Amino acid sequence: MNTTSPNNLPSSKYRKLVVAVSIIIPIAVAALFGIKIEGVDLSFLPPFYATLNGVTAILLILALAFIKMGNMKLHQRTIQVSLGISFLFLVCYVAYHMTSDTTLFGDLNHDGLVDNNIGTIKYVYYFILASHILLSIAVIPLVLLTYLFAMEGNYTKHKKYTRFAFPIWLYVAITGVVVYWMISPYYVH
């Protein structure tokens, strides 16, 4: 099925869907952060969704290995599972943040104040967190367009977009684990 338009972008219907999803997801996530549901304990989710990020990173590396070996079917299935896991991550992440107070990096005694003795590691944490968040927004249209090019059989464009989508998606998955690892000592247990 080749529904690629003359300008080598996915068909208009799919482009509009990618644009809509790429705008709606970040706005919905930001809006849902303003909603707090009391009485629901989802404190088990952060290690779970960090694990989902780790699994996504492993699957992305496997998908690269599969395509390098010429196994397009395994590559395709691995990417599809990665997309599903990324979606599950997003649902868990939003659910946790809708039911839990924000955890502050450096708030050792959970009083809402950051301990001044944590040093410069906080700048490393905030840099990783900021780059993770910004790139997680940017990766949405990149991954979706890359996937659509492959679905439409436009492998030239698929490879071109993959050069950007793959390392960004991998970075977001890995830094998701790193962010969890760095902030986990400050979660209320």
pLDDT in tens, 62-90: 999 999 999 999 999 999 999 999 999 99
- Whether 145 maps to a domain, the answer reads yes
What pLDDT does 189 receive?
A: 62
pLDDT of residue 5: 47
Q: How far is the C-alpha of 139 from the C-alpha of 167, rounded, in Å?
A: 10
Q: Residue 107 sits in which domain range?
A: 36-186
The tally of domains found in the chain comes to 1
The answer to whether residue 54 is domain-embedded is yes
Q: Is residue 24 part of a domain?
A: no
**91 occurs within a structural domain:** yes
Share of the chain above pLDDT 90, in %: 60
* Average pLDDT score over residue span 2-23: 69
**pTM for this prediction:** 0.87
25 lies in a domain?
Answer: no
At 147-180, the pLDDT tens digits run 999 988 889 999 999 999 999 999 999 999 999 9
pLDDT of residue 111: 80
> What single letter denotes the amino acid at residue 126?
Y
Residue 53 lies in a domain: yes
pLDDT in tens, 97-115: 899 888 888 888 878 778 8
188 has pLDDT over 80: no
Report which of 81, 32, 75, 30 is spatially closest to residue 55, judged by C-alpha positions. Answer: 81
Report yes or no on 22 lying in a domain: no
146 pLDDT above the threshold of 70:
yes
- Predicted local distance difference test score (pLDDT) of residue 6: 46
Residue 9 has pLDDT above 60, yes or no: no
Dihedral Cα 79, 83, 88, 89, nearest 10 deg: 90
Among 171, 189, 81, 71, residue whose Cα is nearest residue 128? 171
Residue 1 in any domain: the answer is no
CATH classification at residue 180:
1.20.120
126 has a pLDDT exceeding 60: yes
